[in-house]
Amino acid sequence: MNPVAAFPNVYFLGIGGIGMSALARWFQANGHRVSGYDKTLTPLTAALAAEGIAVHYDDAVASIPAEVRANRDQTLVVLTPAIPQDHRQWAWLREQGYDIRKRSQVLGLLTAGHRTIAVAGTHGKTTTSSMVAHLLHHAGVPCAAFLGGISVNLGSNLLLADVVPRVAEGLVVPLALNDAADIGDISNESGTTTEKSRGTTAPVVVEADEYDRSFLTLYPDIAIVTSTDADHLDIYGDKESLVESFRQFVGQIKPGGTLILNHTADQSVAAAVPAGVRVIRYGLSPEQGPELYADHISVHGHQFHFDLHGPHGAVADLALAVPGFHNVENMLAACCVAQLEGVGAEPLQAAVAAYRGVKRRFEFVLTVGEKVYVDDYAHHPREIEAFLRSLRALYPGKRLRVVFQPHLFSRTRDFAEGFAQSLSLADEVVMLAIYPARERPMPGVTSELILSQITAPRKSLQTMAQVLSAAEADSDFDVLATVGAGDIDQLVPRLKNILDIRWNGTQA
């Protein structure tokens, strides 16, 4: 049963967020009247509007739909942490006594009592959760998924279990969407998962976000932890507090469940699992000590080929079209989940080969001859290092230009040296101004803090307009990469158009 059936109206503050929009789509699919506010018009909010969801961009109370203002007790308000305290609509809704829940709390409500596969980590969780959902869906295992990015295969950040794959076309086709079909009830009276239910109901795949300790609303059957690197120090203060939150998260894995833990993560996390929870460590090679690993890794064009070895058997010659050593590692964890859910070797090979990634995760925007433009969401030093090292492996000896937009003043302050070291893998680095997101400026914290420490042969600080002008006038590169989690994505279609004209003589 839908645990929020008492609320025919659902109103989102920050509906354009990637996690918020997935929830909005779920409520819309299940017959609720959905509406919401966001600060700016984006392709995602435009898509929501095209799907029949009322979206507005003014925080005036009068902009809240009339049915929401007139029906307090029948309205659930879903809030993103990015909404500032002085937001006029939020203040009014609080004063009026509306039921206001954080996105993470609502996700916890929707997954409570159901078989849950939760993917956590300071980086890699969006790609890995999309891989899990894709592998299960492609193999014919019904599952629901709430993702933190737009899956290229699904064309969405939401998958409902009552959806069948059309593998030949690479599309998904929604069937009847009802409360009972998308997430089946799989708990017994004690709240624990039964062996019978494990094989007969649809699992739910969720991205478990550590920001603001959001993932502590989840009680998974299977958890993946991809990384525990320091991040969100504006929330946690220090790395140890961050790691402690991961220990709390894995401590909520249900009895008889499984933790799939990256070998580079803080290993104290493994000690926090409840009795009876199995721990499987994974990594790129057996020399690193994990029981789940890849070997015979080779690069063919854009594809990474590898063999999987693990506690549930070996699978030879997996071909991953989304490149990167870090993505091989992510796929190892996803394949392990698929094996736990009963997917055999041949369906797994086919599903891996069919995976096409997540928008803005190692996304090949344009390839013309030996010229390449790639876009990536990386916004942490380790993510950037993994991305650029993989680009170097794909294009050895090629001249690499990187355009990077730092995300958050606090993250720039905390990791300026790490950003500089990872970006120095490029031949040329172009820095944009910091994207503030939810933060106000901090004295002395600018992009220059990173730029001054970069050792790449060429480096500069530019505006978006200057980046576009440079692309029109200067082609002294073989590989271009745009990197960051702010609004740098607005550059992508414009850069693609400019480069397509320069490289092809045609308009994209």
pLDDT in tens, 309-343: 999 999 999 999 998 898 999 999 999 999 999 99
pLDDT, position 232: 58
Residue 237, marked binder: no
The pair of structure tokens assigned to 110 is 């929707």
Whole-structure pTM value: 0.82
CATH superfamily of 363-504: Mur ligase, C-terminal domain (3.90.190.20)
In CATH terms, the fold of domain 9-101 is Rossmann fold (3.40.50)
Compute the mean pLDDT over every residue in the chain, rounded to the nearest whole number.
88
Q: List the single range of 164-173, 188-197, 399-408 with lowest mean pLDDT.
A: 188-197
Q: List the single range of 142-156, 164-178, 294-308 with lowest mean pLDDT.
A: 164-178
From CA 16, how far away is CA 24, in angstroms rounded? 9
Q: Where are the domains of the chain?
A: 9-101, 112-354, 363-504
Residue 486, marked binder: no
Residue 126, marked binder: yes
From CA 345, how far away is CA 354, in angstroms rounded? 14
Q: List the single range of 115-119, 143-147, 232-236, 275-279 with lowest mean pLDDT.
A: 232-236
pLDDT, position 2: 59
Residue 108, marked binder: no
Q: Show Cβ contacts of residue 317 under 8 Å, excluding neighbours closer than 6 positions.
A: 305, 307, 349
| H runs (alpha helix) in 210-281 | 233-236, 239-250
From CA 237, how far away is CA 325, in angstroms rounded? 31
Q: Which CATH architecture describes the domain 112-354?
A: 3-Layer(aba) Sandwich (3.40)
Residue 123, marked binder: yes
Share of the chain above pLDDT 90, in %: 69
**One-letter identity of residue 474:** D
From CA 478, how far away is CA 191, in angstroms rounded? 56
From CA 25, how far away is CA 495, in angstroms rounded? 30
Q: What would the mean pLDDT of 232-250 be, rounded to a whole number?
A: 82
How far from chain centre, in Å, is Cα 43? 17
Looking at residue 358, the DSSP 8-state letter turns out to be: B
Residue 122, marked binder: yes
Neighbours of 278 (CB within 10 A): 14
CA distances to 284, 295, 364, 391 from 321, rounded to whole Å, are 17, 17, 11, 14
pLDDT, position 315: 97
Q: What would the mean pLDDT of 116-144 be, rounded to a whole number?
A: 94
pLDDT, position 197: 34
**One-letter identity of residue 209:** D
Q: pLDDT tens for residues 439-461?
A: 889 999 999 999 999 999 999 99
From CA 398, how far away is CA 78, in angstroms rounded? 47
CA atoms within 13 A on the CB side of 135: 30
Residue 127, marked binder: yes
C-beta of residue 33 within 8 angstroms of C-beta of residue 57? no
pLDDT, position 201: 64
